[in-house]
Structures are given as structure tokens and as C-alpha cells.
Amino acid sequence: MSFNIALNFEDGVTRFIHCNAGEKVLDAAYRQKVNLPMDCSDGVCGTCKCHCASGEYALGDDFLEDALSDDEVQQRQVLTCQMIPNSDCVIDVPVSASACKTGIGSYQGTVIVSRALSTSAIELVVELEKGIDFLPGQYVNIQVPGGSHIRAYSFSSLPGDMHASFLIRNVPGGMMSTWLLEQAKPGDALTLSGPMGSFYLRPAQRPMLMLAGGTGLAPFLAMLKHLAQTPANQPVTLLYGVTKDTDLVMVEALNELAQRLPNLTWLPIVTDTASACPQKGFVTDHFSETLLNNGDVDVYLCGPPPMVDAVLRNFHERQITPASFHYEKFAPGLVAAA
């Protein structure tokens, strides 16, 4: 038996390692050529201190309080030289990936499908040489064929799948959009690097409110597919906002996910007043006391900057502070730093 351990570095790079049953995280990392910070490796110095964002583990008693205090233990701070996982875990490492002599992963794939779903959204499906481990909600950089430019896109598929899918905003005249719609054909080679990003699904501890704007739907598709495999008891609500009726895409996929997830409710919201959609306006127009649950809610938000700013402003005006709030802005030509 082994466990998947996601190491999230402070520069946004995520590296996955496999930790055998009974093996300490520090030993597993070194075995896989990731040099996590360390000095003594005996629980004395505290140099290897990290934060475990999710997962179950044991620490034992073989460390000094000067290295890890009782308060830090309660806050899920860990010493990787003493930490033995009992499940898959996500660990926040307070240094850059390069400082640990590791870096962003590089993957090769070929185009299976590149098609316009609407005038504003493109679906890209890539066959990979090997599956990419990532946390649902994270993204990769994809190099624009024929040049050195890269663009950042969130997965809409599940981690580890040999077929990776992406929902991409169609930017008229955009370098990647033009290639995808005018030149891409099945079998074309692509280079992907990642995964990256701090926007990812956390363990469900309270009701979840997901807010998607346009192609910001992509990471939520990955999250919901993951929840369909590992159901949570908490209610999940997705508000999916677009400008026009024709911008609503992946509706069948969302309906299918709602059938697999009985605790999922999703609502399309269209800005256009002439829309046939029952819900008009902006996602903030459809916040209710029930959805916000007096702040006892996990909020995930992905959309263009004006939408993110509007939601932040709305929460401030309502004097609502969600128990946890994770958001990601996207803009044309977004490139992630590696």
C-alpha cells in the first residue's frame, strides 16, 4: 500500500510523491529526489516543518517541543522527518520548488479533439503519454505550438486520466485560440507543464458554494467529477454565470453529474435580459441567506476579474466572511510563473 502525497511549494508548483505504508514523508521525498528542507532528520531542529492541509497522519513522540509545539500540532503543522501518512495528504511546503531541487513537471500529449462549443468557449482534449497527478481545480501551462509562448488552463478532467480535457475561453485573435480553431488537428503534439495553483478542492467540511464565470467552469468540472467518485455528505451548489444563452456549455455534463451527486444543485445564470433562462443577472443577484449560511460555507470562485471583484465586494457589503474562501481570476493570455 502507498499514499499519494501532494507537495505544494510556495511558488505555486505542485509535486506528487508516493509514500509507502509506515514510511516517513521526508524519506519518501528523498527517495524520489525531492530534497525537502531538513537538518537533523531526528525531530530536534524543526527545519522540516510544514503544514498538512488535508489527510490523516501520525507523528509519534520522537520530536522535541522546541521543534514542534503542542499548539502547532493542533494547527496541523508537521515535521516531515516524523510524519507517517495514513491516507493521501496535501502538504504546504514553505519554500520554492527549486530550493528543494525539484521543479515543474513536463508532459507530452497529442490532440484528440479541438472544437468550438460556442463563440466563447473551446473544448480541448489531449491524449497523454502518461497521466498527470493534480489536485482537482489546478492548472497546467500549455505551450502554443510553433512558438515559445505558453498559456495556463485548468483541467476539466480527473487527475491521472490518460485523456486530459480543458475548457478554454475563445479570445478573438488570441494566439492559442487561433491555433486551436484554425490549425489544430488530431495527432498534433503538445507540451504541458505543471500542475500548479492554490485553487483546488479541499475536504468537504461544510456546505460548498461554487461560483463559475464563463470558462471558469473548467476547474469545477474536475472538482465535481472527483466528488462523484468520493461523495461528500455536504450540500454542493454551483452557480454558473454567463453573458448570453449561447455561452452556456457542458450542460449535459453538469446534468449527468447532478444525477451522480444527489446533493448537487446547479443553476445557470445569464446576464442578458432577453435570455430564456429563469435566472437572470449576475451570480451575486442569486445569493440567498441559505446559500451563504451565515458564513458557515466553503466558497470556491473562478471567473474573470470583474466577477471576482464583484463577489468580494458583495461579501464585504453583506459583512459575510466565509469559513473558507478560495478564488482564482483568469484573463486572456494568462501565463503562470514556473
Q: Is it the case that residue 334 has pLDDT exceeding 70?
A: no
Average pLDDT estimate for 332-337: 48
pTM of the model: 0.90
* Cα 275 to Cα 243: distance, rounded to the nearest angstrom: 9
Q: Which has the higher per-residue pLDDT, 329 or 119?
A: 119
**10 Å Cβ neighbour count for 232?**
17
pLDDT digits (tens, 9 = 90+) for 8-48: 999 999 999 999 999 999 999 999 999 999 988 888 999 99
Position 332 scores a pLDDT of: 55
**Could you give all domains of the chain from N- to C-terminal order, each with its CATH number?**
2-100 (3.10.20.30), 105-196 (2.40.30.10), 208-329 (3.40.50.80)
Average pLDDT estimate for 226-243: 93
Point out which residues pair with 91 in neighbouring strands: 7, 52
Q: Closest Cα partner for 30 from 42, 45, 18?
A: 18
pLDDT digits (tens, 9 = 90+) for 240-288: 999 999 999 999 999 999 999 999 999 999 999 999 999 999 999 999 9
User: What are φ and ψ of residue 116, in 5° steps?
Assistant: -80, 125
pLDDT digits (tens, 9 = 90+) for 46-76: 999 999 999 999 997 788 888 899 999 999 9
Task: Kindly give the residue spans of alpha helices, DSSP state H, lying in the chain.
Answer: 25-31, 70-74, 175-182, 218-229, 251-260, 289-292, 305-318
Position 67 scores a pLDDT of: 87
Cell numbers of 82, please? 516524523
Give me the chain's average pLDDT, please.
Answer: 93
Contact 304, 330 (CB under 8 A): yes
Average pLDDT estimate for 299-313: 94
**10 Å Cβ neighbour count for 230?**
9
337 band by pLDDT with thresholds 50, 70 and 90? very low
Average pLDDT estimate for 197-204: 92
* Cα 76 to Cα 79: distance, rounded to the nearest angstrom: 10
* Cα 113 to Cα 184: distance, rounded to the nearest angstrom: 9
Using a pLDDT cut of 90, give the percent of the chain over it.
Answer: 86
